[in-house]
Structure 1
Amino acid sequence: MVNGSADESVLLTRDGAVATVTLNRPDRGNGLTNRMKDALREALQETAEDAAIRAVVLTGAGRSFCVGQDLVEHAEALEHDLSTALATVERHYNPIVTSLTTMAKPVIAAINGACVGAGLGFALACDVRIASDAAKFGTAFTGIGLTCDSGLSATLARAVGTARASELIMLNETFTAAEAHEWGLVGRVVPSDELTHATTELATRLAAGPTLAYAEAKRAITGAWPAPLGDVLKAEAAAQNRLGLTRDHRNAVQAFLAKEKPTFTGE
């Protein structure tokens, strides 16, 4: 139990004016279950409402930042009720991304390892991204017959440009921390054993800065998007719900869990 939370899949710790939210399922790459997503929503809400917290760090335990949705749980949801299996987008992913982007204080993504799917969406929803040189990135969604969620369709294109974003989403190829830095997806890359120190130094600096000005800057940057983020999130959720009903998606999830290559038929 950390800071009163009964669910240790998400840890919330404080050091002065800096709060650190840690995704804590290292044995599963910090893959996101519904319980974990509920805990993350609560942790982010708590940090947003606490005026004593002036900067927030989002990171992962172990060797991964976050590999996205836990597909074992998702496969069970598909079997249980196909029509509601993707309801988690509106229930969890959209509020989490909204919280990260609208929180009136700077949020740093400390990307310690694999950063994939919704994990990449969460990182891109943060204000500043610093990565270990061992981190690996990927979009993942089309690999299981889905489109983007967690705001990725907008935030990735904004970070790297629409041409490269289209390629990364459609080809579903992983890329390195060095490539992420070259393309503008992360601002800093440091040796893995220096990530904690570099993140602490950066968070402390931001916590001592003009948080009111930071909050206004966040609002201005978010408001400058060609489409409002809320509209993007709603459109992503509707698309995921349509794709969640397809045979392609169900078969691809089963193929992934069986460590087989999926076959897509357009159904």
Structure 2
Amino acid sequence: MTYESIQFRIENGIAVLTLNRPERLNSFTQAMHLEVRDALTRLQADKSARVLVLTGAGRGFCAGQDLNDRAVEPGAPGVDLGESVEKFYAPLVLAIKNLPMPVICAVNGVAAGAGANLALACDIVLAAKSASFIEAFCKLGLIPDTGGTWHLPRLVGPARALGLALLGDKLPAEKAEQWGLIWRCVPDESLMDEAMAMATHFATAPTKGLAFTKKAMQESFANTLPEQLQLEAQMMRELGYSHDYREGVAAFIAKRPAQFKGE
């Protein structure tokens, strides 16, 4: 597929996916959804990739859905927004959550609506100091989709989650960090350097162990403690036979840097 709405590359184990409609604050159209889906499918198939960095071009990360892509005039027949969620946004969130590698989101500007919740679906969120998060759905008579009703209360608690969702106020990146919504707020000029430095670290880390950690954290919300302990035992059993575990132990004993292969 030839990409017009995104940029995508894989180099040295690092995949970088850039939403690239800066004139529309990288808001989603159906065409962009299809391109992102194709890129994530390629990423899954590429055995060299060990980390994904997601960011946006221009002055914003993502303003959510491009309303011009499915404009509806007052009095005109409505559109099936549930179909849009089922067909595009839900699969996008699940694809990111299920990637067997860390996903870093570098929020370079405003993240609004589905754009905010897309960022929150990633494993580690870095945000430029000038960035902000806006749950803009309430201004359109909608609910926070793209996993927003799942991630928000888990990240910041029910009181702050409801405040963000019902009021639609802009949350500056610095406060987002203070609230625990994101991992870190960094100076604007340092954002991509920080993101790529973290990606470089993950590209040489024990990827399978990181993928299992990600999966175990996700499943903990649905498991009882005994169920989670059993999951941990299953994962540790499999990881104990991995090359990376043996290499990690050997490197520790020899007091040398480990050479992980992600296996």
Match of 1:220 among 205, 216, 221: 216
1:205-264 deviation per Cα after TM superposition (whole angstroms, max 9, x unaligned): 01111111111111111112249xxxxxxxxxxxxxxxxxxxxxxxxxxxxxxxxxxxxx
**Helix, strand or coil for the counterpart of 1:82?**
coil
Sort the Cα spacing of 1:163 and 1:213 in 2 relative to 1 into closer, same or farther, 3 A. Answer: same
Sort the Cα spacing of 1:77 and 1:18 in 2 relative to 1 into closer, same or farther, 3 A. Answer: farther
1:118 aligns with 2:119: no
| Range that drifts further, 162-171 or 71-80 | 71-80
1:94 aligns with 2:79: no
Sort the Cα spacing of 1:79 and 1:108 in 2 relative to 1 into closer, same or farther, 3 A. Answer: farther
Contact 2:72 2:78 in 1 (8 A): no
Match of 2:65 among 66, 69, 76: 69
**In the alignment, which residue of structure 1 is the partner of 2:193?**
197
Sort the Cα spacing of 1:196 and 1:77 in 2 relative to 1 into closer, same or farther, 3 A. Answer: farther
- The AA in structure 2 aligned to 1:177 is A
**In the alignment, which residue of structure 2 is the partner of 1:131?**
127
**Helix, strand or coil for the counterpart of 2:34?**
helix
Match of 1:163 among 159, 165, 175: 159
1:14 aligns with 2:10: yes
Sort the Cα spacing of 1:226 and 1:162 in 2 relative to 1 into closer, same or farther, 3 A. Answer: farther
Question: With CA pairs under 8 Å and 6+ residues apart, which has the higher RCO, 1 or 2?
Answer: 1
Deviation, 1:61, is 0.3
**Helix, strand or coil for the counterpart of 2:37?**
helix
Deviation, 1:78, is 9.2
Sort the Cα spacing of 1:80 and 1:88 in 2 relative to 1 into closer, same or farther, 3 A. Answer: farther
Match of 2:138 among 123, 142, 154: 142
**In the alignment, which residue of structure 2 is the partner of 1:177?**
173
List runs of 5+ in structure 1 lacking aligned partners.
228-267
C-alpha root-mean-square deviation of aligned residues, in Å?
Answer: 1.7
Give percent identity, aligned residues only.
Answer: 38
Match of 1:45 among 41, 48, 53: 41
**In the alignment, which residue of structure 1 is the partner of 2:183?**
187
Deviation, 1:23, is 0.3
Distance in 2 separating the partners of 1:150 and 1:85: 12
- The AA in structure 2 aligned to 1:82 is G
Aligned residues, how many? 223
Match of 2:147 among 142, 147, 151: 151
**Helix, strand or coil for the counterpart of 1:155?**
helix
Distance in 1 separating the partners of 2:127 and 2:27: 19
1:65-108 deviation per Cα after TM superposition (whole angstroms, max 9, x unaligned): 10100011121599886253441101110010001101000000
- The AA in structure 1 aligned to 2:221 is W
List runs of 5+ in structure 2 lacking aligned partners.
224-263
Contact 1:115 1:136 in 2 (8 A): yes
**Helix, strand or coil for the counterpart of 1:185?**
coil
| Range that drifts further, 188-197 or 75-84 | 75-84
Match of 1:103 among 99, 103, 107: 99
- The AA in structure 2 aligned to 1:7 is Y
Deviation, 1:43, is 1.0
Calculate the TM-score normalised by the size of structure 1.
0.80
Distance in 2 separating the partners of 1:11 and 1:79: 38
Distance in 2 separating the partners of 1:79 and 1:47: 43
* Stretches (4+) displaced over 4 A: 76-81
Sort the Cα spacing of 1:81 and 1:215 in 2 relative to 1 into closer, same or farther, 3 A. Answer: farther
**In the alignment, which residue of structure 2 is the partner of 1:59?**
55
**Helix, strand or coil for the counterpart of 1:141?**
helix
Calculate the TM-score normalised by the size of structure 2.
0.81
| Range that drifts further, 82-91 or 10-19 | 82-91
Which protein shows a greater Rg?
Answer: 2
